[in-house]
């Protein structure tokens, strides 16, 4: 059985292994070379209090992760996040991505974030289905923005509003305050 929990620093090597596998073998991740653990440790330290990092665990092994990141560096974007989910290929089509997104969107909504955005290298029907299953709508396609494996790739963006009242003043809470 798969469970979803907040990630810890001890999970970062497993998270990085999943991300690096996608970077080396797919166009779903636009990294070209394996990323160093130190970069992920710094990102985790800098964002995990305000943006959730989750892992899916099966038989005590991390089989997937999801996280939110700041959408942009400008202050007016503080209430929007970019969401990411990756699953170990040996665990695809077993509901891992859905379990991760379900918990991630729950936490982000409770934190007070207004909008979640997710980028998908196209074509990727499985990822499109996952995002749309969680109410995300296609809002843009950027054509030929990524060069990988000797060809150009388009990236589509999907968006979901997390808060019901578009007139409410946003109030963000820390991850620890809502889980």
Q: Which domains does the chain have, with CATH numbers?
A: 2-172 (3.40.630.30)
CA 169 – CA 30 distance, rounded (Å) = 35
pLDDT at residue 18 in the model: 98
Q: What phi and psi, each to the nearest 5 degrees, are found at residue 116?
A: -120, 135
* Average pLDDT of the residues in 130-136: 97
pLDDT at residue 117 in the model: 98
Q: Per-residue pLDDT for 106 more than 90?
A: yes
Tokens matching residue 61: 């092994």
Q: Is the pTM of this model over 0.85?
A: yes
Per-residue confidence band for 50, with pLDDT thresholds at 50, 70 and 90: very high
For residue 31, give the 3-state DSSP assignment: coil
| DSSP letter (8 states) at residue 36 | P
Q: Per-residue pLDDT for 135 more than 90?
A: yes
Tokens matching residue 6: 């907040």
Residue pair 47/81 in contact (Cβ under 8 Å)? The answer is no
pLDDT at residue 166 in the model: 85
Q: Per-residue pLDDT for 68 more than 90?
A: yes
pLDDT at residue 169 in the model: 87
At 18-47, the pLDDT tens digits run 999 999 999 999 999 999 999 999 999 999
Q: Which of 53, 56, 51 is nearest to 4 (CA)?
A: 56
Residue pair 83/131 in contact (Cβ under 8 Å)? The answer is no
Residue pair 97/130 in contact (Cβ under 8 Å)? The answer is yes
C-beta neighbour count of 111 within 10 angstroms: 23
Residue pair 83/90 in contact (Cβ under 8 Å)? The answer is no
Helix 96-111 / helix 125-133 crossing angle, nearest 10 deg: 40
| DSSP letter (8 states) at residue 66 | E
At 144-168, the pLDDT tens digits run 999 999 999 999 999 999 999 988 8
Tokens matching residue 91: 């665990």
User: Within 13 Å of residue 59, how many CA atoms lie on the same side as its CB?
Assistant: 1
């Amino acid at each position: 059985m798969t469970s979803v929990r907040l990630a810890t620093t001890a999970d970062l090597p497993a998270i990085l292994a999943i991300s690096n596998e996608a970077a080396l073998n797919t166009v779903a991740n636009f990294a070209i070379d394996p990323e160093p653990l130190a970069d992920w440790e710094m990102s985790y330290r800098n964002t995990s209090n305000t943006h959730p990092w989750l892992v899916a665990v099966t038989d005590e092994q991390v089989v997937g992760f999801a996280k939110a990141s700041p959408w942009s560096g400008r202050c007016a974007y503080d209430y929007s996040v970019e969401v990411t989910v990756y699953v170990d290929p040996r665990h695809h089509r077993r509901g891992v991505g859905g379990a991760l997104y379900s918990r991630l969107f729950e936490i982000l909504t409770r934190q007070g974030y207004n909008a979640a955005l997710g980028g998908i290298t196209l074509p990727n029907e499985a990822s499109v289905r996952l995002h749309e299953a969680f109410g995300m709508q296609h809002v843009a396609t950027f054509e030929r923005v990524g060069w990988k494996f000797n060809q150009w790739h388009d990236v589509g963006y999907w968006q979901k509003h997390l808060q019901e009242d578009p007139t409410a003043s946003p109030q963000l809470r820390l991850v620890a305050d809502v889980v």
